[in-house]
Amino acid sequence: MGKQSIEGRQLKILKVLLFPITLFSITLVQCRGLEESVKLKNDEFCLELEINNHGIPFIKNGYWRDNDQVAFYAIDSNTTLQDWLPQDLFSSDIVKKSLSETVWQIEKSIEFSKATAEMTIDQLKVTWVVELPNFGSLFRMYVLLSNNGNKDIPIDWFPIWSSSLNLSSENIKTLSYWHPLTYQPKTDSLKKDYTKTLYSNVYSSDSHGEDSFLPYWRIEDKINSLSYSLSWSGGWEAEISANQDSIGIRVKLPSEETQLKLLPGETIEGPIMNVFADHHTNTIDWRKNWLTQRERLSNKLFKKPENWQPLIYNHWYAVRFNLSSDFINKQLEAMDPYNFDVFVVDAGWYNGVGDWTPNQRLFKKGEFENAMQQVKQNGIDVGIWSCPWLIAENGNNPSNETKELGYYNKFMKSYAMELADDNFSSKLNKHVQILDDQFQINWWKYDQELFGDYTKNGKMKNVIALQKSLATVRQSFPELNIENCMSGGRMINEFTDQIAQSHWIRDGRKTGFVHAQSNIQEALGAIQFLSPLKVQRWTNRINEIDEDNSELLKMYCRSAMIGVWGVSTDLNKITDKQKKVILSEIENYRALAPLKESLTYDILYPDTNSDVAGVIFYDQSKENAAALLFRWDQKESITNNVKLDIMENAEYKVLNIDTKEEKIYLGENSSNGTFKMTMKEGQFSSLFFMSVVK
């Protein structure tokens, strides 16, 4: 279809309200059929909204304002209430009476433009919400349900958003998505009669073999793309279908993930679906724009520390629960040359789940507090692990509170609390405050499964309560670094990405070559939709690697440099030979950091027959870059041409960190911006730094 121009429509302004501090202009449009529309817009992007002949609000199209180029357009004229609500909530007669009542209401503030449309069906009010920030082409959509009656209303499943749309060209369209924990990407062609159900049970990114998915996906053609994400920490479902002229997207909480009873006078806000529209020229620029706009939005929603790339120490894969004051002190004595930024004390430091005071069996009175004070004095941030939603079992007789929930966490030998109680947010906030008062923490790592198949208030209300409590902590402690672990990567979603500075994306206790390849593959998948400044990768028990195999040790260290590098080992067991290699690689990690900050990178994701995997990071100008490359399925010597996305016909130099060799390449004579990379037999990785010659 190519470019389309958008004809402006005269909107009838019925009311303007002025609020203190922030100016809101409110536009009411009575829509009967497709005769009128309303617009949400900023300087870059515009959404045109309408209400169809069935009284259902929808987004008619989205386009860029500088050239009127359409990103997508909707085919929603036949969407009915059955696409949005369980059918037992309404009858056809009631719906007919509600059609004439549906209007769009627009609120414009300094930060956002917001559109709402309401429909009341008997005692149930449905509110559709679309929000557009004052920048970019990222927008948000969600639904609220309100019980205006005097009886409970059971809700079998909860709508997130439903639409039928198309992109603005006739090119072949594709759907890309990712599997949880492995972060393996998949891409399907959206051919006629295609149907795919993406989902996850219980948690937003839980693993069920090949059949579950992360709450991120992307639809694209050669001109435009729409990238989706869900701000929801529980289970979800997205049905994506294609026919000759449209793509159907229906996202909801299925019955087993809803379990909702809407009480009289109660309003429930559903999960937020975020959509980023892009007219890209290449994958590198699309990804940079998506990550950048998402981070910019999260900074408007939450006050928090800037993302950074610390070198993290954590004892977990070194000694697990066998922690002691002696171990901590010995690690501190050995830390100086490594220049760690964060020391995270993981599980095992406390008396018991629910009693978040130092373990009296492991630490004498004051020992743990003194050790944390020493960490601070050494210029290292203090990090503490906890799972405050769990209560330790009391023999075989759990409390009535835990019985009502019914979920038992076997690993922690604990029962989960009912989070939907009114005061859980204050409980969690108080918990973090106590940790800060006791240990002056800079870093909080939350963890452990907490949802079961049955809860007193239902799954949806408990997920809402969890997110509300985490958001409260985020707002109350704007300088605190938050690490999202939640049983090793099972709660990756847009909400946790907005509040957290770091993700523990997967558990993994192995070490050496096998774990290095796991680090690499998972990180290369994860940074396709998460910032590399947030994706943790760990090197466990480095001392177990043969000190004479420096190539394997280098590869293992570098496998964590795609994202944020964490070390879990007994530092006193590292030999001098190993230390020399590790310190050299820490220098490389620090040198990569400025390039990673621009979020501009190309990914070489490995498949079964790949010789090489890796990533190429660029600075903002693309005049400086680094290629971090790994041997994959080839055992012999490898020679490849590596493509660079740099200035056309530029002259640039390439420094091989491993051989210290430097070569000058002339852009016009370098095979369209490539350089030759060679890995000798026995070499497991290579690192190159490139810069344009001025």
% of the chain residues with pLDDT over 70: 89
Nearest to 566 by CA among 539, 590, 593: 539
**355 shares its domain with 395:** yes
| Cα 565 to Cα 562: distance, rounded to the nearest angstrom | 8
User: What distances in angstroms separate CA 659 from CA 95, 497, 520, 612, 680, one per listed residue?
Assistant: 73, 39, 23, 18, 11
CATH of the domain at 584: 3.20.20.70
pLDDT over 60 at 127, yes or no = yes
**346 shares its domain with 273:** no
Q: What is the DSSP letter of 306?
A: P
Is residue 167 a part of any domain in this protein? Answer: yes
**589 shares its domain with 611:** no
| Both structure tokens of 237 | 């479902």
Going by pLDDT thresholds of 50, 70 and 90, the confidence category of residue 21 is very low
Q: Which residues pair with 408 in a beta bridge?
A: 415
**24 shares its domain with 82:** yes
Strands 443-446 and 408-409: unpaired
Is residue 149 a part of any domain in this protein? Answer: yes
* Average pLDDT score over the chain: 90
Taking only the tens place, the pLDDT of each residue in 339-384 is: 999 999 999 999 999 999 999 999 999 999 999 999 999 999 999 9
* Average pLDDT over every residue of 295-311: 97
**555 shares its domain with 688:** no
Is residue 306 a part of any domain in this protein? Answer: no
**552 shares its domain with 610:** no
Residue 615 backbone phi and psi in degrees, to 5: -150, 145
CATH of the domain at 287: 2.70.98.60
Last residue of a domain, one of 247, 277, 301: 301
Going by pLDDT thresholds of 50, 70 and 90, the confidence category of residue 33 is very low
Is residue 10 a part of any domain in this protein? Answer: no
**328 shares its domain with 215:** no
pTM score, two decimals?
A: 0.93
Going by pLDDT thresholds of 50, 70 and 90, the confidence category of residue 652 is confident
**293 shares its domain with 267:** yes
Is residue 307 a part of any domain in this protein? Answer: no
CA atoms within 13 A on the CB side of 200: 25
| Cα 198 to Cα 143: distance, rounded to the nearest angstrom | 20
Residue with tokens 């420096």: 550
Q: Which residues pair with 484 in a beta bridge?
A: 446, 503
Report whether 252 contacts 155 (CB < 8 A): no
Is residue 7 a part of any domain in this protein? Answer: no
* Average pLDDT over every residue of 378-398: 84
| Cα 49 to Cα 440: distance, rounded to the nearest angstrom | 49
**25 shares its domain with 137:** yes
**79 shares its domain with 227:** yes
**256 shares its domain with 113:** yes
CATH of the domain at 683: 2.60.40.1180
Last residue of a domain, one of 241, 273, 301: 301
Report whether 185 contacts 525 (CB < 8 A): yes
**Count: domains in the chain:** 3
**100 shares its domain with 207:** yes
In one-letter notation, the amino acid at residue 585 is E
| Cα 442 to Cα 431: distance, rounded to the nearest angstrom | 14
Taking only the tens place, the pLDDT of each residue in 583-633 is: 999 999 999 999 999 999 999 999 888 999 999 999 999 999 999 999 998
Measured N-to-C along each axis, helices 424-439 and 459-476 cross at an angle, to the nearest 10 degrees, of 40
Measured N-to-C along each axis, helices 367-377 and 325-334 cross at an angle, to the nearest 10 degrees, of 10
Is residue 669 a part of any domain in this protein? Answer: yes
Taking only the tens place, the pLDDT of each residue in 178-224 is: 999 999 999 999 999 999 999 999 999 997 656 899 999 999 998 89
Q: Can you say whether the dihedral through the CA atoms of 426, 430, 431, 432 is positive or negative?
A: positive
- Residue 626, domain extent: 601-692
**More confident of the two residues 300 and 210:** 300
- 2: buried, middle or exposed (CB in 10 Å: 19+, 13-18, 0-12)? exposed
Strands 138-147 and 124-133: antiparallel
Last residue of a domain, one of 597, 626, 653: 597
Is residue 411 a part of any domain in this protein? Answer: yes
